[in-house]
Amino acid sequence: MHFVERLDNGVIIISIKGKLTGPPETDLLCERIQSKIEEGRLHIVLNLKHINWMSSLGVGALMKNLRNVREAGGDLRLTGLSDKIKDIFQITKLIGVIQIYDSDVEAAESFKDEPKA
């Protein structure tokens, strides 16, 4: 699993490449998000464009991270979902739980009306 990070007006955007099917990938993602929480970076966008497969463990890791970020006073948003991964979120009815956007820009801009994290 490979991560590329960038900062856009106070929003951390993390692009992920690989698969999200369980350890060690899910552990690496959780560690990365936890480090952002500890740094005070609480507005987070995960770009999943280059995730070629996600299992239920991967979905669980995303939901765990969402909960952790929200408990810290921030939020986590997703972009770049393939049709397969969108289907997973629709089938599990998580579409209404986590905000999903078409682009990183759109997701980052969605934080503009929220207090800076």
The model scores a pTM over 0.85: yes
CATH number at 60 reads 3.30.750.24
| Average pLDDT, integer, range 93-98 | 91
Report d(CA 53, CA 18) in Å as an integer: 8
| Average pLDDT, integer, range 25-40 | 97
| pLDDT tens per residue, range 36-61 | 999 999 999 999 999 988 999 999 99
Cβ-based neighbour number of residue 14 at 10 Å: 20
Which residue range is the domain that position 23 belongs to?
A: 2-108
Residue 31 scores a pLDDT above 90: yes
User: Is residue 70 in a domain?
Assistant: yes
User: Is residue 116 in a domain?
Assistant: no
Nearest 5 degrees, angle CA 114-CA 43-CA 87? Answer: 105
Tokens read off for 12:
């951390």
Q: If pLDDT is split at 50, 70 and 90, which confidence band does 68 have?
A: very high
Contact status, residue 110 vs residue 101, Cβ threshold 8 Å: yes
Residue 88 scores a pLDDT above 80: yes
> What pLDDT, on a 0 to 100 scale, did the predictor assign at position 45?
98
User: Is residue 88 in a domain?
Assistant: yes
User: Is residue 115 in a domain?
Assistant: no
Report d(CA 81, CA 44) in Å as an integer: 16
